[in-house]
Structure 1
Amino acid sequence: MDEARHSPNPSEITALRAELPPQQGNTGQWGQTSQDKTWKYLCFFVSLILLLTVIILSVILSEVLKRTQQVQEKVFQLNEKVTQGLGDAGHDRDFIRSEVFRQMKAVLAGNESSCEPCPLDWKFFQGSCYFFSLDNLTWTQANDSCVQKQAHLVIINSRTEQDFLTSTGQVTSWIGLFKEGQKGNHRWMDGSTPTYFNWDSKELPDNVTAPACMMMYNYGHWRDFSCESGQFAFICERRQNC
């Protein structure tokens, strides 16, 4: 009777087991929590490394793209300088040739010149022949017409040449200057960059949003105009054969 009275019942045995710490290798609640925390720390560490790697690669890629863009801009600027230099050299050559011709003409002073005279209906000025057409054409048509005459739309290099053209009383006419798009540079027919401008103060060319060609008012000022929309007279120019 006493032994039965002091023996623990099943509920007391279960309570005692719950109070005991889990043995090594036990898969109780404490063991599962520790393993979960270890994996969470590991995942966090790997994610942090990946994030840092992505950030570093992004910075490096951004720097590479920036350097590449800088190199491309330098190459573009160099090409622009070379093109402008070639155009300026062509202008200098024409100017020197005109000056030599003018000096020769002054020295000959009445003697017959060895240069071929300008064709009939063409006007002579400083070593060039000019044809003033009154046909109203688009800029492209006008240029084609000049090419057929073994000439090109007029290239104006100086104030002196501008004054000569204005003094002829020619109506509003196309000249050989054009612009390639909104951000393009102005170019003469020979590809050179202008060194002389005579823009109309009321008609600045900066607001033109499409490829444009230049026309000259009868009083001499220049203006951008749509190459194919307008039809104007035009002026052809070609060097005198000497």
Structure 2
Amino acid sequence: MEMVVFENEPEVLMENISNKGHRDTSAAPGLKLYRCVAVSFGLLCILQVALNISLRLPLNCEARTKQLTEERDELKGNLNDSILGHEDEIKILTGERDELKRRLDDIISGNEAKIKTLTGERDELKRRLDAFTHRSHNGWLYFSHSFYYISQIKKTWHDSRNDCLKRGADLVIINSREEQEFIKGLVQNLMWIGLSKRDGIWEWVDGTRLAQSFWCSGEPNNHKSGNEDCGEIRSCSDDHGWNDEECSYSSLWICEKKMAL
């Protein structure tokens, strides 16, 4: 068998090896560039997405804010309409409230006045009761809204009156037949009463002139010295009992303290 001998085979092989190495060396920079471009493009895409998001957020916030503002304004308008629609009702209710408050204040004020009045009446009744008890326990007799004290010693008319004044009373004033009969039942001989004569006119110790009288028969007669200017009560044969006597004469007396219960 005939062998084919390639004379130039070693040279061709070397050339191929040489060219292969040359291609590999020249392709390396291109690959790096490709990679750089790819990475840059990826970064650009990421930046684009981030930019879109960053730009879209303010727009979304602005739109949301606008929407909320419109909703707020709408609710505010509805509220105002509702208030206006119920303004008359609110006015009526406010008037009723004020009227109820005024009535309540009047009731409270009225009750306070009543309480004050009742308290005053209670205190006055208590004072009268205390006075009634005190006088009842100290020899005073009660009849028809008055207390009466019968002395146990004798004094002149003026001294007798001073004694009554010290006791918070005065010499007795007889204003009715009923009182006259009551006093006559207390008489022990002769007793001064609150009657005296001034400038020829008989009057009581409170300054009132004598109107109804119960003189004994023939009295007053200004007997003896003609200075019988003070009144006394004594037992007479009839239902009367007054007599005029000199004021310097010593006698028992009757004090009277008016006290209506």
TM norm structure 2: 0.45
Report which structure shows greater RCO (CA 8 Å, sep ≥6). 1
Q: Which of these two proteins has the greater Rg computed from alpha carbons?
A: 2
The structure carrying a bigger helix percent of its residues is: 2
